[in-house]
Structure 1
Amino acid sequence: MTTVHHLLLEAAGRGDDPGVRAALAAGADIESRDEELRTPLLLASLGDHVPVARTLIDAGADPDAQDRRHDSPWLVTGVTGSVAMMRVLLRGGPDVRLRNRFGGVSVIPASERGHVAYVRAVLAETAIDVDHVNDLGWTALLEAVILGDGGPAHRETVEVLLAAGARPDLADADGVTALLHAERRGYEEIATLLRAAR
Protein backbone atom coordinates (compact mmCIF):
# COMPACT_ATOMS: atom_id res chain seq x y z
CA MET A 1 0.00 0.00 0.00
CA THR A 2 1.34 3.39 -1.00
CA THR A 3 1.47 5.77 1.93
CA VAL A 4 2.04 9.50 2.05
CA HIS A 5 5.56 8.70 3.31
CA HIS A 6 6.28 6.63 0.19
CA LEU A 7 4.89 9.41 -1.97
CA LEU A 8 7.31 11.85 -0.34
CA LEU A 9 10.29 9.55 -0.93
CA GLU A 10 9.29 8.94 -4.54
CA ALA A 11 8.72 12.63 -5.25
CA ALA A 12 12.07 13.58 -3.70
CA GLY A 13 13.86 10.91 -5.69
CA ARG A 14 12.50 12.13 -9.02
CA GLY A 15 12.92 15.83 -8.25
CA ASP A 16 9.21 16.58 -8.08
CA ASP A 17 9.07 19.67 -5.87
CA PRO A 18 5.26 20.14 -6.05
CA GLY A 19 4.90 16.45 -5.16
CA VAL A 20 7.21 16.89 -2.18
CA ARG A 21 5.26 19.90 -0.99
CA ALA A 22 1.96 18.04 -1.39
CA ALA A 23 3.21 15.02 0.55
CA LEU A 24 4.51 17.20 3.37
CA ALA A 25 1.21 19.08 3.48
CA ALA A 26 -0.58 15.72 3.71
CA GLY A 27 1.43 14.85 6.82
CA ALA A 28 4.37 12.85 5.47
CA ASP A 29 7.27 12.46 7.89
CA ILE A 30 10.13 14.59 6.54
CA GLU A 31 12.57 11.98 7.86
CA SER A 32 10.80 9.02 6.20
CA ARG A 33 13.17 6.20 5.22
CA ASP A 34 13.17 3.77 2.31
CA GLU A 35 14.43 0.17 2.51
CA GLU A 36 18.03 1.42 2.38
CA LEU A 37 17.28 3.94 5.16
CA ARG A 38 17.58 6.85 2.72
CA THR A 39 15.63 9.98 3.62
CA PRO A 40 13.87 12.25 1.11
CA LEU A 41 16.72 14.74 1.44
CA LEU A 42 19.33 12.07 0.73
CA LEU A 43 17.41 10.97 -2.37
CA ALA A 44 17.22 14.59 -3.52
CA SER A 45 20.95 15.01 -2.94
CA LEU A 46 21.79 11.85 -4.86
CA GLY A 47 19.78 13.16 -7.83
CA ASP A 48 21.08 16.72 -7.44
CA HIS A 49 17.50 17.97 -7.18
CA VAL A 50 18.36 21.35 -5.69
CA PRO A 51 14.85 22.90 -5.52
CA VAL A 52 13.55 19.80 -3.70
CA ALA A 53 16.47 19.91 -1.27
CA ARG A 54 15.77 23.59 -0.60
CA THR A 55 12.14 22.80 0.19
CA LEU A 56 13.15 19.97 2.52
CA ILE A 57 15.89 21.94 4.28
CA ASP A 58 13.53 24.88 4.78
CA ALA A 59 11.05 22.43 6.32
CA GLY A 60 13.68 21.18 8.78
CA ALA A 61 15.15 18.08 7.10
CA ASP A 62 18.37 16.70 8.61
CA PRO A 63 21.41 17.04 6.28
CA ASP A 64 23.32 14.52 8.42
CA ALA A 65 20.84 11.59 8.38
CA GLN A 66 22.84 8.53 7.29
CA ASP A 67 21.61 5.46 5.44
CA ARG A 68 22.76 1.83 5.61
CA ARG A 69 25.95 2.74 3.70
CA HIS A 70 26.64 5.70 6.02
CA ASP A 71 25.91 8.16 3.22
CA SER A 72 24.17 11.39 4.22
CA PRO A 73 22.82 14.28 2.14
CA TRP A 74 25.91 16.31 3.07
CA LEU A 75 28.44 13.53 2.42
CA VAL A 76 26.89 12.79 -0.97
CA THR A 77 27.74 16.30 -2.19
CA GLY A 78 31.42 15.34 -2.06
CA VAL A 79 30.68 12.45 -4.42
CA THR A 80 28.47 14.37 -6.85
CA GLY A 81 30.54 17.55 -6.65
CA SER A 82 27.42 19.71 -6.64
CA VAL A 83 28.29 23.15 -5.30
CA ALA A 84 24.65 24.25 -5.58
CA MET A 85 23.50 21.33 -3.42
CA MET A 86 26.34 21.93 -0.96
CA ARG A 87 25.21 25.52 -0.49
CA VAL A 88 21.57 24.58 0.00
CA LEU A 89 22.53 22.00 2.62
CA LEU A 90 24.72 24.51 4.44
CA ARG A 91 21.48 26.30 5.34
CA GLY A 92 20.62 23.23 7.43
CA GLY A 93 23.83 23.38 9.47
CA PRO A 94 25.44 20.05 8.48
CA ASP A 95 28.23 18.51 10.54
CA VAL A 96 31.24 18.85 8.21
CA ARG A 97 33.11 16.38 10.45
CA LEU A 98 30.61 13.60 9.64
CA ARG A 99 32.41 10.54 8.24
CA ASN A 100 31.43 8.21 5.42
CA ARG A 101 31.87 4.43 5.46
CA PHE A 102 35.57 4.89 4.69
CA GLY A 103 36.02 7.29 7.60
CA GLY A 104 36.34 10.27 5.28
CA VAL A 105 34.78 13.74 5.20
CA SER A 106 33.18 15.18 2.06
CA VAL A 107 36.29 16.90 0.69
CA ILE A 108 38.06 13.54 0.32
CA PRO A 109 35.79 11.88 -2.30
CA ALA A 110 35.51 15.25 -4.04
CA SER A 111 39.30 15.41 -4.33
CA GLU A 112 39.48 11.80 -5.50
CA ARG A 113 37.07 12.64 -8.34
CA GLY A 114 38.66 15.95 -9.27
CA HIS A 115 35.59 18.06 -8.39
CA VAL A 116 37.63 21.27 -8.37
CA ALA A 117 34.76 23.74 -7.91
CA TYR A 118 33.39 21.75 -4.97
CA VAL A 119 36.78 21.39 -3.29
CA ARG A 120 37.38 25.12 -3.64
CA ALA A 121 33.91 26.00 -2.32
CA VAL A 122 33.79 23.59 0.62
CA LEU A 123 37.22 24.70 1.80
CA ALA A 124 36.33 28.39 1.48
CA GLU A 125 32.80 28.24 2.93
CA THR A 126 33.09 25.69 5.75
CA ALA A 127 35.49 24.74 8.54
CA ILE A 128 36.10 21.28 7.05
CA ASP A 129 39.49 19.78 7.92
CA VAL A 130 41.65 19.80 4.78
CA ASP A 131 44.03 17.30 6.41
CA HIS A 132 41.42 14.85 7.72
CA VAL A 133 42.77 11.29 7.54
CA ASN A 134 40.32 8.51 6.60
CA ASP A 135 40.37 4.87 7.66
CA LEU A 136 42.70 4.02 4.75
CA GLY A 137 45.24 6.51 6.09
CA TRP A 138 44.62 8.96 3.25
CA THR A 139 43.97 12.70 3.20
CA ALA A 140 42.21 14.58 0.41
CA LEU A 141 45.63 15.43 -1.04
CA LEU A 142 46.73 11.81 -1.03
CA GLU A 143 43.47 10.68 -2.66
CA ALA A 144 43.75 13.33 -5.37
CA VAL A 145 47.12 11.80 -6.31
CA ILE A 146 46.62 8.10 -5.58
CA LEU A 147 43.13 7.75 -7.08
CA GLY A 148 43.29 10.64 -9.55
CA ASP A 149 44.43 10.40 -13.16
CA GLY A 150 47.09 13.11 -13.04
CA GLY A 151 45.12 15.25 -15.48
CA PRO A 152 44.09 18.91 -15.34
CA ALA A 153 41.21 18.44 -12.88
CA HIS A 154 43.33 16.56 -10.36
CA ARG A 155 46.27 18.93 -10.85
CA GLU A 156 44.00 21.89 -10.07
CA THR A 157 42.51 20.01 -7.12
CA VAL A 158 46.01 19.59 -5.71
CA GLU A 159 46.64 23.32 -6.23
CA VAL A 160 43.44 24.23 -4.38
CA LEU A 161 44.20 21.86 -1.50
CA LEU A 162 47.72 23.21 -1.11
CA ALA A 163 46.47 26.81 -1.24
CA ALA A 164 44.04 25.92 1.57
CA GLY A 165 46.90 24.69 3.73
CA ALA A 166 46.95 20.95 3.02
CA ARG A 167 50.16 19.45 4.37
CA PRO A 168 52.17 17.77 1.60
CA ASP A 169 54.35 16.00 4.19
CA LEU A 170 51.49 13.87 5.56
CA ALA A 171 52.22 10.33 4.42
CA ASP A 172 49.90 7.36 3.99
CA ALA A 173 49.84 4.37 6.35
CA ASP A 174 52.93 2.99 4.58
CA GLY A 175 54.86 6.22 5.04
CA VAL A 176 54.55 7.25 1.38
CA THR A 177 53.92 10.96 0.73
CA ALA A 178 51.78 12.48 -2.00
CA LEU A 179 54.96 13.61 -3.76
CA LEU A 180 56.38 10.09 -3.91
CA HIS A 181 53.03 8.75 -5.16
CA ALA A 182 53.00 11.44 -7.88
CA GLU A 183 56.58 10.64 -8.90
CA ARG A 184 55.85 6.90 -9.04
CA ARG A 185 52.85 7.54 -11.30
CA GLY A 186 54.67 9.95 -13.59
CA TYR A 187 52.43 12.89 -12.62
CA GLU A 188 55.24 15.39 -13.11
CA GLU A 189 53.12 18.57 -13.02
CA ILE A 190 51.56 17.50 -9.73
CA ALA A 191 54.96 16.47 -8.38
CA THR A 192 56.28 19.95 -9.22
CA LEU A 193 53.44 21.54 -7.25
CA LEU A 194 54.14 19.30 -4.29
CA ARG A 195 57.88 19.98 -4.34
CA ALA A 196 57.23 23.72 -4.33
CA ALA A 197 54.92 23.35 -1.32
CA ARG A 198 57.47 21.57 0.87
Structure 2
Amino acid sequence: MKHWNLVFTLAAALACATTAQAQVPPTAAETAAYQGLHAAAAWGDMPTLNKLIAAKGDLNARDAYGRTPLHVATYARQAEAIRALAKAGAGLDLLENDRYDAVTIAAVADDEATLRVLLQLGASAKQVTSRYEGTALIAAAHLGHDGVVRQLIAAGAPLDHVNNLHWTALIESIVLGNGGPRHQATLQALLRAGASQTLTDRQGNTPLQLARQRGFSEMVRMLETAGAR
Protein backbone atom coordinates (compact mmCIF):
# COMPACT_ATOMS: atom_id res chain seq x y z
CA MET A 1 0.00 0.00 0.00
CA LYS A 2 2.82 2.43 0.83
CA HIS A 3 4.44 1.67 -2.52
CA TRP A 4 1.17 2.34 -4.36
CA ASN A 5 0.60 5.61 -2.51
CA LEU A 6 4.12 6.77 -3.41
CA VAL A 7 3.60 5.90 -7.08
CA PHE A 8 0.22 7.62 -7.07
CA THR A 9 1.62 10.76 -5.46
CA LEU A 10 4.56 10.99 -7.86
CA ALA A 11 2.35 10.44 -10.88
CA ALA A 12 -0.08 13.13 -9.74
CA ALA A 13 2.76 15.56 -9.03
CA LEU A 14 4.28 14.94 -12.45
CA ALA A 15 0.94 15.47 -14.17
CA CYS A 16 0.36 18.64 -12.16
CA ALA A 17 3.77 20.06 -13.04
CA THR A 18 3.39 19.16 -16.70
CA THR A 19 -0.06 20.69 -16.94
CA ALA A 20 1.08 23.89 -15.25
CA GLN A 21 3.91 24.25 -17.78
CA ALA A 22 1.70 23.58 -20.81
CA GLN A 23 0.19 27.06 -21.09
CA VAL A 24 2.71 29.55 -22.45
CA PRO A 25 1.96 33.26 -22.06
CA PRO A 26 3.91 35.77 -24.15
CA THR A 27 7.32 36.52 -22.67
CA ALA A 28 8.40 40.07 -21.95
CA ALA A 29 10.62 39.94 -25.03
CA GLU A 30 7.77 38.69 -27.22
CA THR A 31 5.46 41.40 -25.91
CA ALA A 32 8.06 44.09 -26.55
CA ALA A 33 8.49 42.83 -30.11
CA TYR A 34 4.79 42.72 -30.96
CA GLN A 35 3.50 45.00 -33.66
CA GLY A 36 0.06 45.93 -34.94
CA LEU A 37 -2.97 44.39 -33.30
CA HIS A 38 -0.91 42.11 -31.06
CA ALA A 39 0.95 45.09 -29.60
CA ALA A 40 -2.18 47.18 -29.15
CA ALA A 41 -3.98 44.26 -27.50
CA ALA A 42 -1.09 43.51 -25.16
CA TRP A 43 -0.78 47.09 -23.96
CA GLY A 44 -4.46 47.97 -24.05
CA ASP A 45 -3.69 50.80 -26.48
CA MET A 46 -7.28 51.47 -27.49
CA PRO A 47 -6.73 54.37 -29.93
CA THR A 48 -4.27 52.28 -31.92
CA LEU A 49 -6.38 49.14 -31.62
CA ASN A 50 -9.48 50.95 -32.89
CA LYS A 51 -7.54 52.45 -35.81
CA LEU A 52 -6.20 49.04 -36.81
CA ILE A 53 -9.67 47.50 -36.54
CA ALA A 54 -11.12 50.28 -38.70
CA ALA A 55 -8.33 49.68 -41.21
CA LYS A 56 -9.44 46.03 -41.49
CA GLY A 57 -6.40 44.55 -39.79
CA ASP A 58 -6.36 40.76 -39.47
CA LEU A 59 -8.26 40.25 -36.22
CA ASN A 60 -7.18 36.61 -35.98
CA ALA A 61 -3.53 37.04 -36.95
CA ARG A 62 -1.19 34.61 -35.22
CA ASP A 63 2.14 35.15 -33.50
CA ALA A 64 4.87 32.50 -33.60
CA TYR A 65 3.05 30.52 -30.88
CA GLY A 66 -0.32 30.72 -32.58
CA ARG A 67 -1.69 33.38 -30.25
CA THR A 68 -4.24 35.82 -31.68
CA PRO A 69 -4.61 39.40 -30.46
CA LEU A 70 -7.54 38.17 -28.34
CA HIS A 71 -5.36 35.53 -26.67
CA VAL A 72 -2.76 38.19 -25.96
CA ALA A 73 -5.37 40.58 -24.56
CA THR A 74 -6.65 37.78 -22.33
CA TYR A 75 -3.20 37.02 -20.96
CA ALA A 76 -2.70 40.76 -20.34
CA ARG A 77 -6.16 41.17 -18.74
CA GLN A 78 -7.09 43.91 -21.17
CA ALA A 79 -10.87 43.72 -20.95
CA GLU A 80 -11.55 46.78 -23.12
CA ALA A 81 -9.34 45.37 -25.87
CA ILE A 82 -11.15 42.03 -25.64
CA ARG A 83 -14.51 43.77 -26.03
CA ALA A 84 -13.34 45.80 -29.03
CA LEU A 85 -11.85 42.75 -30.77
CA ALA A 86 -14.98 40.69 -30.13
CA LYS A 87 -17.28 43.47 -31.37
CA ALA A 88 -15.21 43.67 -34.55
CA GLY A 89 -15.59 39.93 -35.16
CA ALA A 90 -12.46 38.35 -33.71
CA GLY A 91 -12.75 34.64 -33.01
CA LEU A 92 -13.56 34.06 -29.34
CA ASP A 93 -12.95 30.33 -29.36
CA LEU A 94 -9.77 29.93 -31.41
CA LEU A 95 -7.00 27.70 -30.07
CA GLU A 96 -3.30 28.56 -29.93
CA ASN A 97 -0.52 26.04 -30.64
CA ASP A 98 -1.00 24.13 -27.37
CA ARG A 99 -4.76 24.17 -27.98
CA TYR A 100 -5.73 26.69 -25.33
CA ASP A 101 -8.59 29.09 -25.95
CA ALA A 102 -9.16 32.42 -24.23
CA VAL A 103 -11.61 30.91 -21.72
CA THR A 104 -9.06 28.32 -20.59
CA ILE A 105 -6.32 30.94 -20.45
CA ALA A 106 -8.44 33.06 -18.09
CA ALA A 107 -9.47 29.98 -16.10
CA VAL A 108 -5.89 28.85 -15.51
CA ALA A 109 -4.90 32.40 -14.50
CA ASP A 110 -7.74 32.48 -11.91
CA ASP A 111 -8.84 35.64 -13.68
CA GLU A 112 -12.53 35.79 -12.85
CA ALA A 113 -13.03 39.30 -14.23
CA THR A 114 -11.65 38.53 -17.69
CA LEU A 115 -13.44 35.20 -17.77
CA ARG A 116 -16.72 36.95 -17.01
CA VAL A 117 -16.14 39.35 -19.92
CA LEU A 118 -15.37 36.50 -22.32
CA LEU A 119 -18.43 34.51 -21.32
CA GLN A 120 -20.68 37.56 -21.55
CA LEU A 121 -19.37 38.15 -25.08
CA GLY A 122 -20.32 34.61 -26.06
CA ALA A 123 -17.10 32.62 -25.66
CA SER A 124 -17.77 28.94 -25.05
CA ALA A 125 -17.14 27.12 -21.78
CA LYS A 126 -17.71 23.79 -23.57
CA GLN A 127 -14.63 23.44 -25.75
CA VAL A 128 -12.15 20.57 -25.54
CA THR A 129 -8.80 22.25 -25.01
CA SER A 130 -5.12 21.53 -24.29
CA ARG A 131 -2.90 18.59 -25.16
CA TYR A 132 -4.72 16.69 -22.39
CA GLU A 133 -8.04 16.81 -24.28
CA GLY A 134 -9.54 18.53 -21.26
CA THR A 135 -11.71 21.57 -20.65
CA ALA A 136 -11.41 24.93 -18.92
CA LEU A 137 -13.42 23.41 -16.06
CA ILE A 138 -10.96 20.56 -15.58
CA ALA A 139 -8.04 23.01 -15.60
CA ALA A 140 -9.71 25.26 -13.03
CA ALA A 141 -10.68 22.33 -10.81
CA HIS A 142 -7.12 21.02 -10.89
CA LEU A 143 -5.88 24.38 -9.61
CA GLY A 144 -8.64 24.91 -7.05
CA HIS A 145 -9.95 28.07 -8.72
CA ASP A 146 -13.35 27.73 -7.14
CA GLY A 147 -14.79 31.06 -8.33
CA VAL A 148 -13.79 30.25 -11.89
CA VAL A 149 -15.30 26.78 -11.49
CA ARG A 150 -18.64 28.27 -10.44
CA GLN A 151 -18.63 30.64 -13.43
CA LEU A 152 -17.87 27.83 -15.85
CA ILE A 153 -20.56 25.59 -14.38
CA ALA A 154 -23.09 28.42 -14.77
CA ALA A 155 -21.96 28.84 -18.38
CA GLY A 156 -22.72 25.20 -19.16
CA ALA A 157 -19.28 23.65 -19.00
CA PRO A 158 -19.47 19.84 -19.37
CA LEU A 159 -19.34 18.49 -15.82
CA ASP A 160 -18.23 14.95 -16.60
CA HIS A 161 -15.84 15.33 -19.52
CA VAL A 162 -13.00 12.79 -19.22
CA ASN A 163 -9.57 13.94 -20.40
CA ASN A 164 -6.84 11.72 -21.83
CA LEU A 165 -5.44 11.15 -18.33
CA HIS A 166 -8.85 9.57 -17.63
CA TRP A 167 -9.74 12.26 -15.10
CA THR A 168 -12.84 14.44 -14.75
CA ALA A 169 -12.94 17.88 -13.15
CA LEU A 170 -14.16 16.30 -9.92
CA ILE A 171 -11.34 13.76 -9.92
CA GLU A 172 -8.73 16.43 -10.69
CA SER A 173 -9.94 18.56 -7.78
CA ILE A 174 -8.85 15.64 -5.61
CA VAL A 175 -5.83 14.02 -7.24
CA LEU A 176 -4.11 17.25 -8.33
CA GLY A 177 -5.27 19.39 -5.44
CA ASN A 178 -3.87 19.96 -1.97
CA GLY A 179 -7.07 19.17 -0.08
CA GLY A 180 -7.25 22.75 1.18
CA PRO A 181 -10.14 25.21 1.34
CA ARG A 182 -10.19 26.22 -2.32
CA HIS A 183 -10.06 22.65 -3.59
CA GLN A 184 -12.77 21.77 -1.07
CA ALA A 185 -14.90 24.65 -2.39
CA THR A 186 -14.23 23.44 -5.92
CA LEU A 187 -15.33 19.92 -5.04
CA GLN A 188 -18.44 21.25 -3.32
CA ALA A 189 -19.39 23.33 -6.37
CA LEU A 190 -19.02 20.30 -8.63
CA LEU A 191 -21.04 18.08 -6.30
CA ARG A 192 -23.84 20.65 -6.03
CA ALA A 193 -23.92 20.93 -9.82
CA GLY A 194 -24.39 17.18 -10.15
CA ALA A 195 -20.94 16.06 -11.30
CA SER A 196 -20.59 12.28 -11.32
CA GLN A 197 -19.29 10.64 -8.16
CA THR A 198 -19.05 7.23 -9.84
CA LEU A 199 -16.75 7.88 -12.81
CA THR A 200 -13.35 6.41 -11.98
CA ASP A 201 -9.74 6.97 -12.89
CA ARG A 202 -7.88 4.61 -15.22
CA GLN A 203 -7.21 2.21 -12.32
CA GLY A 204 -10.88 2.05 -11.36
CA ASN A 205 -10.64 4.28 -8.27
CA THR A 206 -13.74 6.32 -7.43
CA PRO A 207 -13.44 9.93 -6.23
CA LEU A 208 -14.17 8.77 -2.68
CA GLN A 209 -11.41 6.17 -2.84
CA LEU A 210 -9.00 8.75 -4.23
CA ALA A 211 -9.80 11.22 -1.46
CA ARG A 212 -9.21 8.49 1.13
CA GLN A 213 -5.89 7.55 -0.49
CA ARG A 214 -4.75 11.16 -0.31
CA GLY A 215 -5.85 11.52 3.33
CA PHE A 216 -8.20 14.42 2.50
CA SER A 217 -10.63 13.87 5.36
CA GLU A 218 -12.84 16.88 4.63
CA MET A 219 -13.22 15.86 1.01
CA VAL A 220 -14.06 12.33 2.16
CA ARG A 221 -16.75 13.78 4.42
CA MET A 222 -18.15 15.91 1.60
CA LEU A 223 -18.29 12.99 -0.80
CA GLU A 224 -19.88 10.68 1.76
CA THR A 225 -22.48 13.33 2.59
CA ALA A 226 -23.26 13.56 -1.12
CA GLY A 227 -23.81 9.80 -1.21
CA ALA A 228 -20.55 8.75 -2.87
CA ARG A 229 -19.38 5.17 -2.54
TM-score, normalised via structure 1 length? 0.91
* 1:115 corresponds to which of 141, 145, 154: 145
Cα deviation digits, residues 15-59 of structure 1 (max 9, x gap) = 333332232233321111111111000111122221211111111
Contact 2:119–2:125 (Cα < 8 Å) also in 1: no
* 2:66 corresponds to which of 20, 25, 37: 37
CA distance in 1, matches of 2:51, 2:83: 15
Contact 2:162–2:168 (Cα < 8 Å) also in 1: yes
Cα deviation digits, residues 86-109 of structure 1 (max 9, x gap) = 222224433333212211111111
* 2:167 corresponds to which of 127, 133, 138: 138
Question: Structure 2 stretches of 5 or more lacking a match?
Answer: 1-33
Partner of 1:159: 188
* Secondary structure in 1 matching 2:35: helix
Contact 1:78–1:108 (Cα < 8 Å) also in 2: no
Contact 2:125–2:152 (Cα < 8 Å) also in 1: no
Contact 2:184–2:219 (Cα < 8 Å) also in 1: yes
Question: Structure 1 stretches of 5 or more lacking a match?
Answer: none
RMSD in angstroms over aligned alpha carbons? 1.6
* 2:204 corresponds to which of 164, 175, 178: 175
CA distance in 2, matches of 1:58, 1:165: 35
* Secondary structure in 2 matching 1:128: coil
Give the stretch that moved more between structures: 94-103 or 127-136. 94-103
Question: CA shift at 1:8, angstroms?
Answer: 0.8
Give the stretch that moved more between structures: 70-79 or 186-195. 70-79
**% identity of equivalent residues:** 37
TM-score, normalised via structure 2 length? 0.79
Question: CA shift at 1:156, angstroms?
Answer: 0.6
Number of positions where the alignment pairs a residue of Structure 1 with one of Structure 2: 193
Which 4+ residue blocks in structure 1 deviate beyond 4 angstroms?
Answer: none
* Secondary structure in 1 matching 2:118: helix
Q: How does 1:14-33 map to 2 (within 5 A)?
A: 14-33=43-62
CA distance in 1, matches of 2:214, 2:142: 15
Contact 2:170–2:195 (Cα < 8 Å) also in 1: yes
Q: How does 1:84-99 map to 2 (within 5 A)?
A: 84-99=113-128
Q: Which has the higher helix share?
A: 2
